[in-house]
Chain A
Amino acid sequence: MNDNILEIENLHVRFSTFDGLFSAVNNVSLNLGYNESIGIIGESGCGKSTLAFTVMRYLATNAQVEGAIRFKGINLLENSEKEMESVRGNRIAMVFQNPYSSLNPSLTIGFQLDEVGMHHQKLSKSQARKATIEALEMMNLGDPKGIVRRYPHQVSGGIQQRICIAMALLCKPDLMILDEPTTALDVTTEAVILDSIAELRDTLKMSMIYISHDIGVINKVSENIVVMYSGEIVESGPKKQIFENPVHPYTRALINCMPRGGVVKEKTKLNTIAGYVKRRGVDEGGCPFADRCDKKNDTCISKYGTKKIGEHHYAACDRAYAEDIPDKLKVRITPIARKKDPDFDSERDLLKVEDLHKIYGNKRKVYAVNGIEFSVKPHSILGIVGESGCGKSTTGHMISGLFPPSKGRIIFGDTDISIGWNKRDKETLKNIQLIFQNPGRSLNPSHTVEKIIGRTMQKLANINNAKERREKIIDILRKVDLGKEYLEKKPRQLSGGEQQRVAIARSLSISPSLIVCDEPTSALDVSVQASVLNLLNDLQVDTHVAYLFISHDLNVINYLSDYIMVMYAGKIAEYGKRDEVMENSHHPYTEALLSAVPEVDPTKQKDIIELEGMLPDPAKKIKGCPFAGRCHKQVGEICVKEYPPMVQLTEDHYYFCHIKP
């Protein structure tokens, strides 16, 4: 008996497309032992999902596969379709990124689970149902008997994903492949699911491949990490080794470009990787990372191949700390002095929000924002963090004027701007800018970069001379590290990072005093995210503009913000100076959120606070504390009945809870 359950040998996967043949997986070899769990990490387009689907033998018709995938000694690539059917879902099970679309909308949940047992294990209907209920119980789903009768759309995203995992568990598979199963979920939901996955591994003794773009997530469920870049494995080994001693320049760069616990803008500049992941043609040889690598030398193309670094530690390159080329990371890690502006601590608020409400809909009301008060100081960055549905984006959109508030006031400088864009004056429109989450959608695909930026300048800064405008556009493009050649390009010709730079340039082109950034980096890969965050930081230091930075990612918020505001169900949970909130949090929700954030450093794992249940129904007005239903520290009836009072800790730090400090 072999001691590996899965052996992938010299695997190549190529796709033939309109632009020619390109390589999605290139010469990948990988071994997975019994009861071993490996995490595959890489940015989008690096072939990790393709690898998983190749193992499942589920590829589009334009794919060409070469090599061998041996599962318990049998080469899956030589199996017939019929033989594969008895492997899929039975011996190898898979869980996908988007639970909602992975469940059939017109069949009940019970039916979709039962059929697995009935088909693979030839169980009768009632036996299969029994197995289904057991699997659901294993995933800690309360009331499994009620769940089986429901349709997928009747349960929340987190529960849907737990159902999908339960479905994968039904036949007690030998190998489970999870493809970004928590990426579409909120961080507290993710934490709970990751916890149950780790538990399952212990009880069921199965092998696991966990695919993610987030090292922190992989740290929680796997002991070994495989790093993929552009279809190739560039490094693999135990997670501690990979984190502490990465030898491939890409691995090192990747780890350093993630904003992680404790990394803040004043002390550290995030590492960035130039360029972006490109599709590889089949005839390109050498290191796929060479064109973006700082440590590149003439051996990158010729002498390239996997080397053994240590026990179980392999890498395709060991130049991560090569000294023949100066180390960008080491140079940059020195703290940068932030320019201190004379009126940074000005008492006058730039923006003041009072009792802000937003209710959507007429008949079916959705209470999105339910009375919040805060202010933004000039030249500072206020980060708003919270999970989906907490009202953070709605708040940002009201401030930028996309729609008027239902109740309450927004005061900017001296003017009341609690009105929509169509009633605001030019000056206000100019002074408050908005950067959207999805740069591809916020730039008009039919217009050129010049038109996109120029129109804003023409409209809001009254620069009507085309020549003068062009000069200024070139100037502002340079500030966001884009050249003159971008003027004539259309958004479709740009990468995601470049698009977001253009969007930033558009906002900055008219020198606003406040920019609302609505999740500006969450659609981007980590390496690109880092460069956008650096850019936003540099520009802020440079121009003294204030940001209202909205994100679901606490690490990003922590890195960039001066002040942090935590929101939950349309209310403020906690507000304060960054370090006060991060190091001395008082609201139970803040604590839970902090504990749920995946830690990049495998040695710094912490206990998570598991939140059960979900956000309160936004269609109902809540009387008590919105967090009461899920709170691990609930003190009693009062939490449900009465809205908690504000507890002021310092002048700038307060929270809303019945528990006193």
Chain B
Amino acid sequence: MKRLMEMFLRRLGSLLATLVVMSFVIFLLVEIMPGDVAQMILGQSATEEAVAALREARGLNDPLLERYGRWISGVVVGDLGDSIYMQGVSINSILWRKVGHSIILAMTAFIIFVPLSIFFGVLAGVKEKKPTDSIISFFGLATMALPEFVSGVILITVFAVQLKWFPIVSVIPIGESIWQNLNIVVLPALSITLVMFGYISRMQRSSMISVMNSDYIRAATLKGMPRRYVIFRHALKNAMLPTITIIGMNMGWLFGGLVVVETLFGFPGMGSLLMTAIKTRDVPLIEACVLLITVIYSVSTMITDIMYSYLNPRIRYQGGQK
């Protein structure tokens, strides 16, 4: 346990360092954006004096580092600034509701694809080179290769246009919350699931195959343990360890996927918000969204890393004798 705690603290430290550097990079990226923020706020018709005055008032003429300092100190205390496009609206008031929607979407997808892809990956691995394996593997290859918006379009055509089971566009009527409109989550979640399923089930399959070919599985079989028992008690845990890392690494794809899927379905989440922010060149909003994605992504990678070490006795009980 002490080792784990140590590792957790070390990881947390490097996470914070990454985030500090990252926040600066994000800030830099967005600040060098062509176009003048003050001009954008006031519109094309504003006089030069007015623009200059606003620049001065917002501190846009200050050196880069000073502006970064101001921004980041706001971020640390939870003040993400105001949106430019939606004038005067604080980012906090729009962002968190949408983040909530995205998290519901991501969690729904997560709950579907993790058990599903592990199950089918293990199944394909156990039945290596048999028809079951070929079908699962090909299906996985195909869904993995499809960008979310392509599988999304196919899902829409089938389930929304033809069968009319789900809406084509994911809109939450004004005044209602997402919980009253959960049917809008289904199709977006499925399109994310498909991509993730392909990737993770294939990884799970190959790790299952390599475990099944290992010496200790041979040893367990030759101890007379029944095949089912060997698979569940001896193989499964070792074969799932690498999958944890893979899932963590793919959280990045998942977030990229969110942006695409939310745009396709018009889902009111963080991804489509980011997309709008980019289109309207809403600097503070872009910064807030990207920073948040980075934080969520980094934290989820860290969690998977720690889980991996916790579940792997070779790391948990390192040291002692060779």
Contact = CB atoms under 8 A, between A and B. Distances in A.
A and B, one complex?
Answer: yes
A88 B238 contact: no
Contact of B222 (A61, A89, A115): A89
Nearest to A116: B223
A103 B222 contact: no
A56 B222 contact: yes
Nearest to A100: B215
B111 interface: no
Contacts of A360: none
Interface in B297-322: 311-314, 317, 320-322
Contacts of B215: 96, 98, 101-102
A58 B222 contact: yes
B317 A94 contact: no
Contacts of B225: 85, 89, 115, 119
Interface stretch (A152-160, A307-315, A447-455): A152-160
Contacts of B220: 104, 112
B238 A89 contact: no
Interface in A125-174: 150-151, 153-156, 164, 167
A103 B222 CA distance: 12
A112 B230 CA distance: 11
Contacts of B321: 154-156, 614
Contacts of B322: 156
B82 to A, nearest CB: 48
Interface size of B as a range: 20 to 34
A216 B263 CA distance: 74
A336 to B, nearest CB: 44
B249 to A, nearest CB: 21
A94 B219 CA distance: 8
A195 to B, nearest CB: 22
Nearest to B220: A104
Contacts of A96: 215, 218-219
Interface residues of A, number: 36
Chain B contact surface mostly = helix
B221 A101 contact: no
B43 interface: no
A260 B218 CA distance: 35
B314 A87 contact: no
Contacts of A150: 317, 320
B216 interface: yes
Contact of A105 (B221, B226, B238): B238
Contacts of A98: 215
A63 B129 CA distance: 16
B313 A153 contact: yes
Most chain A CB inside 10 Å of its own CB: which residue of B222, B227, B237: B222
Contacts of A102: 215-216, 218-219
A107 interface: yes
A240 interface: no
B247 to A, nearest CB: 18
B183 interface: no
Contacts of B224: 84-90, 116, 119-120
Contacts of B221: 58, 88
A579 B312 CA distance: 51
A167 B223 contact: yes
B222 A94 contact: yes
B152 to A, nearest CB: 39
A107 B219 CA distance: 13
Given A87-B224, A88-B221, A154-B321, A104 B234 contact: yes
Interface string A242-270: 00000000000000000000000000000
Nearest to B313: A151
A58 B317 contact: no
Contacts of A154: 317, 320-321
Contacts of B181: none
B134 interface: no
A105 B222 contact: no
B214 interface: yes
Nearest to B318: A153
Interface string B194-238: 000000000000000000001110111111111101000110011
B314 A105 contact: yes
B238 A104 contact: yes
A106 B222 contact: no
Given A85-B226, A89-B223, A116-B223, A105 B317 contact: no
Contacts of A86: 224
The residue in A106, A107, A120 that gathers the most chain B C-beta atoms within 10 A of its C-beta is A106
A103 B314 contact: no
Contacts of B223: 88-89, 93, 115-116, 119, 167
Nearest to A105: B314
Contacts of A155: 321
Given A81-B227, A85-B225, A107-B233, 4 more contacts: A58-B218, A90-B224, A104-B234, A112-B220
Interface of B: 129, 214-216, 218-227, 229, 233-234, 237-238, 241, 311-314, 317, 320-322
Pairs A-B, 3 closest by C-beta atoms: A89-B224, A89-B223, A88-B224
28 contacts: A58-B221, A58-B222, A85-B226, A88-B222, A88-B223, A88-B224, A94-B219, A96-B219, A98-B215, A101-B214, A102-B218, A103-B216, A104-B216, A106-B237, A106-B312, A106-B313, A107-B234, A119-B224, A119-B225, A119-B226, A119-B229, A150-B320, A151-B317, A153-B313, A153-B314, A154-B320, A154-B321, A155-B321
Interface of A: 56, 58, 61, 81, 84-90, 93-94, 96, 98, 101-107, 112, 115-116, 119-120, 150-151, 153-156, 164, 167, 614
